[in-house]
Amino acid sequence: MTVVTSFCGLCVLLALGKLLRVKVGLLQRLYLPSCVIGGVVGLVILQTVGDWIPDMWTAAWSTLPGLLINIVFASLFLGVKVPAVKGIWQKAGPQLAYGQIVAWGQYAVGMGLVLLVLAPLLGTPSLFGVIVPVGFEGGHGTAGGLGPTFAELKWPEGQDYGLASATVGIVSAVIVGIALVVLRHVARPTPVARCMVRAGDRRDGTIHGRHGNRPVAAARGRS
């Protein structure tokens, strides 16, 4: 019963996150996922009025990710026709190469910093070196699913660090990524961006031309 109640609590937070995303324009423009928004709401609630909330609403939160990550991967190809091996390689080959470079690069940077800087100076556990790839490449599901592994290695705090790394990664990636896209379009609009602007202007009753902008009615009269 505790697991069901805890799951219902997460569903409530997800619904609140979705509601805020629909109602708040800034959250839509930032493309923040509803789950992240709901997580921030839950963090605020627990830090402010958490003592008034019964433990059964949050008791199973630490055990659910290990189960739910299996559902995520098990349902990846449901309803999808798997192409031939050649087609898979042609489409996924570049992404696979890029992913491997990014993944091993994150491990190299993380482990290198721990072994050369953090461990000698601050006594940081060696497992801390995997937090960056676990959070950035893996995400919240991976960090939660590795919780039992961290516990077996006598470092249960690794799950919390992984979840924090995943949160920082997704929020910073979304905000910085959207900012870079906006700056790119402002500096040098792409054909797609120009078409979107023109479509928006047409809805406002204006069209673009070689001699400037003019109302749609006037343009039709000239034609």
Structural domain boundaries in the chain: 1-61, 89-187, 189-223
pTM: 0.58
In degrees and rounded to multiples of 5, residue 196 shows phi and psi of -65, -40
Q: How far apart are CA 142 and CA 139, in angstroms?
A: 5
Tokens 């100076």 label which residue?
121
Q: How far is CA 92 from CA 82, 84, 99, 139, in A?
A: 13, 12, 10, 20
CA-CA-CA-CA dihedral for 167, 72, 35, 131, to nearest 10: -10
Question: Running along the chain, 223 residues long, what does each successive block of 10 average in pLDDT?
Answer: 85 94 86 85 89 85 78 83 84 88 91 92 91 87 86 91 88 81 73 52 46 47 47
Q: How far apart are CA 128 and CA 139, in angstroms?
A: 16
- Rg of the chain's alpha carbons, rounded to an integer? 24
Tokens representing 38 are 């709901």
Tokens representing 214 are 């003019």
Tokens 């992404």 label which residue?
95
List residues bridging with 207 in a β-sheet. 214
Which pLDDT belongs to residue 92? 85
Tokens representing 70 are 């299996």
Which pLDDT belongs to residue 19? 95
